[in-house]
Amino acid sequence: MISKNHVLIAIFLALLCYPSLYSQELPLLGAQVFIEPGQTAEETELWFKTMRDHGMQICRIRMFESYMRQSDGSWDFSLFDQAFKLAEKYNIKVMGTFFPTTTKTDIGGWKFPKDREQLGQFAEYIKQLVTHFKKYKSLYAWVLINEPGGGLRDTAFSREIRQQWNQEHPQREVLDNGYPVLVDLQDERFKEYMTSWMLNWIAEQVRVYDEEIHLHVNNHAIFSNLPEYDFPYWRTFLNSLGGSAHPSWHYTAFPRDQYALILSANSEILLSGAGHLPWLMTEIQGGNNTYSSNTPMCPTAEEITQWLWMILGTEGKGGIFWTLNPRASGVESGEWALLDFQHQPTDRVAAIKRVSDCIQQNNDVFKQLKKIDSGINLLYIRESLWAENVITQGTPAATDSRKIGLKNLLGYFKALSEMGINANIKAFEEFDFTKENYTGSTIILANQIVLPVNTVKPLEHFVKKGGTLLVDGLTGYYDEHVHNRMLTDFPFAHLFGGQLAEFRHSSDIFYYELAGMQVPASLWKGFLKPDEKSTALATFGEHITATRSNFGEGSVIWIPGLLGLPAWEDAQPLAKFLTYTLPLDSVPLRFEQHAKNVVMKTLQPDEAVITILVNKAKTEKEVELNGCVELLNGRVLFSTIDRTSINGTIKLYPEETLVVQWR
């Protein structure tokens, strides 16, 4: 069973012993080379040559067991040997993805074995691949399994592990205050455990035969599978963290003109999850999906460019597109590719080359990019996501807009992004609560319906030491046992500055008048019973609906309504309120005014500042940069249109991506 008692020691040893993507000074761009029987040697060589000629330095190869293990139990690696040799010829690094035998229609691969026999077969497969392919200089990393998350089923194997897990993690029946535990989150806790167990097991199998090879994994469907991902624990056996970003699969809850913003948010989650490790986007949609996925789309060259720069602007060490060449057989045949059916590069390949050329031509700039921390942190709590999944399952609340997930939190991210502010998105346990001074730092808890009791002291410490805490929606409605703590003995009353009297549902948008601004909210309107140290910020009739209270050196803003959801229609009121209310001394550059559908990422290599701007509006946008950095000697590093000069007031054209270095 997994033990986390020695996590810090394991992380330290991993840093000492294993190679890191940081050893590659420049970000790596590439694509999945899809290898299958029937392809000719000439075709395969053309693909690797095309990558080399278009600025791609890394590829993934899905290592199909079914194409290597023979019916008599022997192994034939020749199909993949050819690809690894060609990768060496064209100086392409290979990330091989373990893909054990599965059904012919399974496009993603299984995540857990069905029984011990299949687990043993997987172990033998890992042994064969690791020992055979380690001879190739082109082998750069093993991807432990394709897209973990969302695949746990009721099988003999899962029941066996669950029985042992239950003994070590018994479900409480009664709380210390005497109330019964009637909502069971054990299934959610076990899914998180099993995902980590499986990945760690694969890593251990690899390390039996190769102690140095780079280990990587790409999570997927981040906004739904996030509750399963224990990134801090994964750091103990990985060398880098990755993810899949297929908008037609993963972002369809949002309009297409928000995909760059959502990929930016996805990247922020991975950056925080990776911690001391590097991260890269292991899969990015490269071409058209015809009959697969949730919705059909083909990325434009402009979108390919925007997505890459959002990754680079979040310290990503590269991006790999799915796929370079289309597969010819099975489900998804003919889909997703950067090349056309005649193996010729599309305009999407040209877009990748332009970004790659910029990186190579400015290698001194892109060696060690560091995102400038705004000090604003959007924290999510996995128990909150677990609880919402469980209590809405099979009920009208699952589909009638009451199940929020991360959409309210991401509304805050949108509002801040459209002010040019890089907000962090972190799991609660990924935030550093050990500092002695949080002046200038903000935590936003946006509708985190569960606040475990063990979060009380860290949050009190944060605010007491100068931090600003903004609490919105139903945050704190339940504890980790889905017990409503607002009825009695609310553990956050001292910190939040009072109690909550009740919530009332609102079918329409309603407004808070905050600091003279009309800020829209939706769904829940909470009425507060503040204590003597709180100041009312907003009222509704005789009811107080928002407060601000001091706690130590910091303060808490409590607004029990959903402010993030209306921001998807218009983020300007929320953006204006946040920039007026929150301490922004750590933000060197931001927009003077809200700029709808414009996203900016800010980096600081050495003494320079780099701004990455993307305009997703259908019209020209003029943005004026403001902050504590003097805008001198603006040098255009990259633009999708011709630029000859730049200053602090920038006109952005529709779909334009602009990268500027300021000194």
Phi, psi of 582 (to 5 degrees): -90, 150
CA 613, CA 658: separation in Å to the nearest integer? Answer: 5
SS3 of 364, please? helix
User: In this predicted model, what pLDDT tens digit does every residue of 324-342 receive, in sequence order?
Assistant: 999 999 999 999 999 999 9
Which residues touch 577 (CB under 8 Å, ≥6 apart)? 514, 515, 517, 519, 563
376-581 with 589-662: one CATH topology?
Answer: no
CA 84, CA 550: separation in Å to the nearest integer? Answer: 62
Predicted local distance difference test score (pLDDT) of residue 57: 98
Predicted local distance difference test score (pLDDT) of residue 13: 40
Predicted local distance difference test score (pLDDT) of residue 10: 42
Q: Using 50, 70 and 90 to split pLDDT, how confident is the model at 608?
A: confident
Among 84-93, 375-384, 485-494, which stretch is predicted with the lowest mean pLDDT?
Answer: 485-494
Q: Which CATH class is domain 7-170+181-366?
A: alpha beta
* CATH code, residues 589-662: 2.60.40
Q: Using 50, 70 and 90 to split pLDDT, how confident is the model at 634?
A: confident
**For strand 517-530 and strand 498-514, is the pairing parallel, antiparallel, or unpaired?**
antiparallel
3-state helix, strand, coil in the chain (%, to 5): 35, 25, 40
Predicted local distance difference test score (pLDDT) of residue 629: 66
User: In this predicted model, what pLDDT tens digit does every residue of 76-102 receive, in sequence order?
Assistant: 999 999 999 999 999 999 999 999 999
More confident residue, 606 or 142: 142
Domain ranges of the chain: 7-170+181-366, 376-581, 589-662
Predicted local distance difference test score (pLDDT) of residue 648: 80
Predicted local distance difference test score (pLDDT) of residue 628: 66
> 109 burial class (0-12, 13-18, 19+ CB within 10 angstroms)?
buried
Q: Is the pLDDT of residue 543 over 90?
A: yes
**Cis link prior to 323 (omega < 30° from 0)?**
yes
Q: Please measure the distance between the N-terminal and C-terminal CA atoms of the chain and give it in whole angstroms.
A: 52
Predicted local distance difference test score (pLDDT) of residue 447: 98
Predicted local distance difference test score (pLDDT) of residue 637: 95
Q: Using 50, 70 and 90 to split pLDDT, how confident is the model at 155?
A: very high
Q: What is the mean pLDDT of the chain?
A: 94
Q: Is the pLDDT of residue 303 over 90?
A: yes
Distances (CA, A) of 185 to 154, 190, 228, 289, 386: 16, 9, 13, 36, 7
User: In this predicted model, what pLDDT tens digit does every residue of 452-477 receive, in sequence order?
Assistant: 999 999 999 999 999 999 999 999 99
Name residue 562's beta-bridge partners: 522
Verdict on whether the full-model pTM lies above 0.75: yes
Structure tokens at 380: 């999510």
Domain 376-581 has CATH 3.30.2130.30: no
